Every structure is written in C-alpha cells, then in structure tokens.
Amino acid sequence: MLTVVKVGGGLAREAGDGALRALCTRIAEAGTRHRLLVVPGGAHFADTVREHDRRFGLRPRTAHRMAILAMEQFGWALTDLIPGAARCADPGSVREGAVSVLLPAALLAELDPLPESWGVTSDSIAAWVAGTAGAERLVLVKPVAGLYRTWPPAGEPIARLTVDELAALRLAGVDEHLPAALRGAGVETWVIGGREPARLAELLDEGRTAGTQVTATA
C-alpha cells in the first residue's frame, strides 16, 4: 500500500535539528519496507511568505503560489535529510524500496483544485495528493502528538474522531480546509507526533499508534 507522509515544517522550526534528523532517519528505514511518498510542509520558508503577505497585501493567488514554492524548498532539504530519498514531481512515480519526496510546484501549477487562501496549507495539499495518488493512508507528522481540544495542547490528544467532527470542532493544528480535502481523498488519516519517530514506524508496521485517527464515519 502507498502511504503519504506529510512532514510538518514546524519540526524544522524547533531549536536544534535533532528531532527532524531522527524522524528523517526513521522515514528512510521505513521506506525499505513500505511505499512512502513524503509531502513537505512549508517550514520557515512559508513563514516568510506569510510575513510578506502581511506587509504587502499580496493577492491570494500570489501568496498561494509562493507558499507552494516554500514547500518545494523544504522538499529539497528533506531529500538531503532522508537517506537514499529521491525527488519526484509526479505522485504516480513513487519508487519501490526507497522514499520519494514530492516537489509539488509543477504538479500544482497544472492541477490545483484547492482554494487559494491561507485556509489551505500543506495539510490539505497532502490530503489532495493522497487522493490523487490512490494512497491508502495519509499521515500528518506534527511537532505535537496529535489533535487536541484545547490549544496550547494539554494532556493526551484525541484518539479518534470523524471528518465531520473535525469540521465541527475547528481544531487548531490543522488547516480549516482539511475536512473537505479528506472527504475528497477518502483515505485513512492519522495525525501523529514527529518528536517520537518510533510512532511512525509503529503505525506503518502495525497499523496503529499513539496519536489521532481521523475516520470517514464513526
């Protein structure tokens, strides 16, 4: 089965680089056993786009395209950080036995059905990619351990909720368009923490782990 793994840019914003490097090493190891397509977040590059948008009042399409290019830049970095990874521009060209990292700019310049707003981030883009690629699972890897009812996070994350519940709760930590994107993609979805890379391996190998599972129905 194909799994799309979105590596959140927030992991690159943390002090030091240990968490991101450890996650990337674990992704490479898992890629020898599973078909993995990594979708990059925007990281500091997207923060720069947001700041320019605030300062200069960019057109929504301009900011959207610049944010996608931010993902592209982080994708180049992830390809270096994930041992043996290969860049790809087509979700249908995922290699066997090694990790593919999507550089999304060309794909989304040609086929981008998503709204051009900050309500769409790499979360929704990863969901759309998963649907387009025919993936069976989407994993959103975040700096926090899952989705929480309160923010800042406290206690344990929500273990399971439906797409409709996700839409109704409007939880922090994911973008507001994600419920609609997940309905369109129709994939099993998890939100897990990247600070504990073993959780990704556990999910891929055993089908479950600590974090938040988002399902189509209750």
Each residue's pLDDT tens digit, 43-76: 999 999 999 999 999 999 999 999 999 999 999 9
The pLDDT assigned to 17 comes to: 73
CB contact burial 97-133 (16+ within 10 A = b; e otherwise): ebbbbbbbbebbeeebebebebebbbbbbbbbbbbbb
| All residues at 6 or more sequence positions from 168 whose CB lies less than 8 Å from its CB, including other chains | none
Residues in the chain, pLDDT under 70 = 14-16, 218
Cα 26 to Cα 156: distance, rounded to the nearest angstrom: 24
The C-alpha atoms of residue 82 and residue 1 are separated, in whole angstroms, by 20
Task: Kindly report, residue by residue over 23-45, the tens digit of the pLDDT.
Answer: 999 999 999 999 999 999 999 99
C-alpha distance from residue 140 to each of 10, 28, 59, 61, 135 (Å): 12, 17, 28, 25, 14
Position 26 scores a pLDDT of: 97
In this prediction the pTM is: 0.96
The number of beta carbons lying within 10 Å of the beta carbon of residue 15 is 6
pLDDT score recorded for residue 77: 97
DSSP string of 19-73, one letter each residue: HHHHHHHHHHHHHTTSEEEEEE--HHHHHHHHHHHHHH---HHHHHHHHHHHHHH
Task: Report the sign of the C-alpha dihedral through residues 150, 38, 84, 65, in that order.
Answer: negative
> Which pLDDT score is estimated for 41?
97
pLDDT computed for residue 16 by the predictor: 59
